Structure 1
Amino acid sequence: MRHYRDLVVWQKSMVLVTNVYSITRLLPKEELYGLVSQIRRSAVSIPSNIAEGYGRYSTNDYVRFLQIAIGSLYELQTQLEICLNLGYLSKEHFEKIYEQSREIERMLSSLIKKVGNCLGT
């Protein structure tokens, strides 16, 4: 693998960001500087941290940035569930994004384990 863009988890994270931006357009305008902003930041943070970690010359740093990415993913999942509970998102929209996020979660967890094994952890 020559570039972070070759990572399927990064590619899927980029699709997730695009879908998050589309869905957050449906949220009430009064949430633009609240939930919408927070959700978008969390989503953008996922592929950004995957890329930044990949660009580090330390395996420890790479694992740390992957862990930050998964933390942002959990934050996103929580915020989306808040939107569902408030009636801002339909169950259909929530489930679509949530399933995408769960797939990325599994991929990130696997990647963290694989890279961590290189460290002997």
Structure 2
Amino acid sequence: MSFKFENLIIWQKSMDLGEKMNILSKAFPKEEIYNLSSQLRRASDSVALNISEGSILQSNAEYRKFLGYAIRSLAEVVTCLHKAIRRNYVSKTDFDVYYKNCFDLMNMTIAYRNKIK
């Protein structure tokens, strides 16, 4: 038995992203615990949460709205990553990997949202 959203690759990848961002944020300085660390964790978790929440709605229009929220949260994650690299909390190599993951997931989520009419 499973929920239909659990079979979505975008949900699975967003779950992975949340875990990666949680691990990454733990390496940030302690003074960021209530700022950038928290924001990065909340934004990355919000992606999967919105995908799953929207999937149980009856209306495709409402589902598209929640997928839009997930896309906006991904943009927020990318901005947090830019903040992190500017503050030297993440290496350029790691930034590039996380950035590509976000880019790919955003494109997949947009494509999925566009399929829902």
Q: Return 83-92 or 62-71, whichever deviates more.
A: 83-92
Cα deviation 1:80-109 (Å, max 9, x = unaligned): 101101111111221121111111001011
What residue number does 2:99 align with?
Answer: 98
* Structure 1: runs of 5+ lacking an equivalent: none
Q: Does 1:87 align with 2:115?
A: no
* Structure 2: runs of 5+ lacking an equivalent: none
Query: How many residues were matched structurally?
Result: 115
After the TM superposition, list the runs of 4 or more consecutive aligned residues in structure 1 that deviate by more than 3 angstroms: none
Query: 1:7 Cα shift?
Result: 0.3
- Name the % identity: 35
Cα deviation 1:52-97 (Å, max 9, x = unaligned): 0001111111000000000000011011101101111111221121
Q: SS of 1:106's equivalent? A: helix
Using the alignment, how far apart are the partners of 2:58 and 2:102 within structure 1? 27
Query: 1:30 Cα shift?
Result: 0.6
What residue number does 2:71 align with?
Answer: 70
What residue number does 1:58 align with?
Answer: 59
Aligned-residue CA RMSD (Å): 0.9
Residue identity opposite 1:25 in structure 2: K
Cα deviation 1:5-50 (Å, max 9, x = unaligned): 0000000000111111111111101100000000000000000000
What residue number does 1:107 align with?
Answer: 108
Using the alignment, how far apart are the partners of 2:27 and 2:5 within structure 1? 31
